Amino acid sequence: MTHDPVLCLASASPRRRDLLSSIGVTVEVRPVDIDETPRPSESAADYVVRLAREKALAGARLTRLPTLGSDTAVVRDGEILGKPASRDHAASMLGSLSGRGHEVLTGVAVSGPAGVLTACVTTRVFMRELTTAELAAYWATGEPADKAGGYAIQGLAAVFVEHIEGSHSAVVGLPLFETADLLARQGVPLWHEA
């Protein structure tokens, strides 16, 4: 049985759609295109919250439903790591994460009757030492090409992660605990029944 959407998701991310579905939220998907360039001296937390907010507001113009926007950044030593531009860039990026911890910040914003509500979640991710051969083989899978930081924790790169401190779902793309709170405050039901 399909349910009418109760939320607009301003993202094409199948991971975010699946995470929302896992908590019973049926979405209308309306991807938006915004400039994702970090501003000079903008902190990673401010950056992901700003983008989440801009996405939610842009999506809200396309629907009457409450609208969720989200953005995730991988941060190493204060530097935001984007998506790799090439195999060498991916190898360099992942090599810099090898054998150490880094932060993954996810901002989420929900536009609705209560205005625009936001949250930011930081999770520490610790990777084991990675070999050059592993990095080359991982790149060959195609998975890292469009991923912030050059890896997907929910995918093949799961074997690289020794442990995390914080929210696994936030690293995948949407912190479910915090998102559920924002949705409740906007009147969006979880475990939606027809």
Q: Which residues carry out catalysis?
A: 71
From CA 52, how far away is CA 5, in angstroms rounded?
20
Residues 49 and 118 sit within 8 Å (Cβ to Cβ): yes
According to DSSP H, which parts of the chain are helical?
14-22, 44-60, 87-97, 132-140, 168-172, 176-185
Specify the pairing of strand 27-29 against strand 79-81.
unpaired
Residues 103 and 122 sit within 8 Å (Cβ to Cβ): yes
